[in-house]
Amino acid sequence: MNNTFTFNDIFKSSFIDNLSAFSFLDMAIALTLAFVIGLFIMTVYKKTFKGVMYSQSFGVSLMTLTLISTFVILAVTSNVVLSLGMVGALSIVRFRSAIKEPIDIAFLFWSISVGIVLGAGLIPLAVLGSVLIGVILILFINKKSIDNPYILVINCDNDESEQKAIDLVSKSVKKHVVKSKTVSSSNGTELTIEIRLKDQTSEFVNQISKISGINNVVLVSYNGEYAG
């Protein structure tokens, strides 16, 4: 049995072997596409954002997640030992940031999925899939509804004025549902009613405010997520 080692065997470096086996061209193509698609995801998020204040940092995070996922998958696919270590390292990661909108979860998974697909070398799937998802999101999120929900808040002094207000609401709107009723000895009665406008007109609000015993009337639009 020959146990003779040469000088090169003693100083052989696995790092150099990995470096020579890794394709810099594949890395450049994958990361460049990840950057471009990440910008596309960030643009779609900005175009479809329906909140009050747009978060620029979250948009940049979507692009960065695409890049990070790509180079992580590139590393994992090139080394089996590294893939096992990466699984163990990522298993202890915990994210505590609160997601404000449910649609934000879809964008996060979209960014991560694109990075995984690009890192695996499935470039046509990443490009065509991202275009299709982007078009679907823009069409459905930006679709305008002609039957938007509104919340009508009425402050009245007594039962008589309350009944007159409800009767007028039922005649003037397409649909109404009483969401809450608060009775106070000092402030009277406060009604919260979800309504659907008829012909998108709100002239009945002025008529309600003229009813004797009505102190205040407020009409606001909301997104349908009522917690009551």
pLDDT single digits (tens) 26-84: 788 888 999 999 999 999 998 888 766 777 888 898 899 899 888 888 877 766 555 55
Structure token digits, residue 39:
């910008």
Domain 149-221 superfamily per CATH:
ACT-like. Chain A, domain 2 (3.30.70.1150)
Q: Where are the domains of the chain?
A: 10-141, 149-221
Using alpha carbons, list the distances in angstroms from residue 213 to 39, 160, 173, 176, 186: 56, 8, 21, 21, 14
Partnered with residue 173 across adjacent β-strands are 197
pLDDT of residue 50: 75
**pLDDT, tens digit only, all 228 positions of the chain:** 455 545 455 444 554 555 555 677 878 888 899 999 999 999 999 888 876 677 788 889 889 989 988 888 887 776 655 555 555 555 545 556 666 777 888 898 999 899 888 888 888 999 999 999 999 998 888 766 556 788 888 888 888 888 888 888 888 888 888 888 888 877 778 888 888 887 777 788 888 888 888 888 888 876 545 444
Residues in contact with 119: Cβ distance below 8 Å, sequence separation at least 6, in sequence order: 30, 69, 70, 71, 72, 73, 74, 76, 77
What pTM was estimated for this model as a whole?
Answer: 0.61
Cα separation, 109 vs 115, whole angstroms: 10
pLDDT single digits (tens) 67-82: 988 888 887 776 655 5
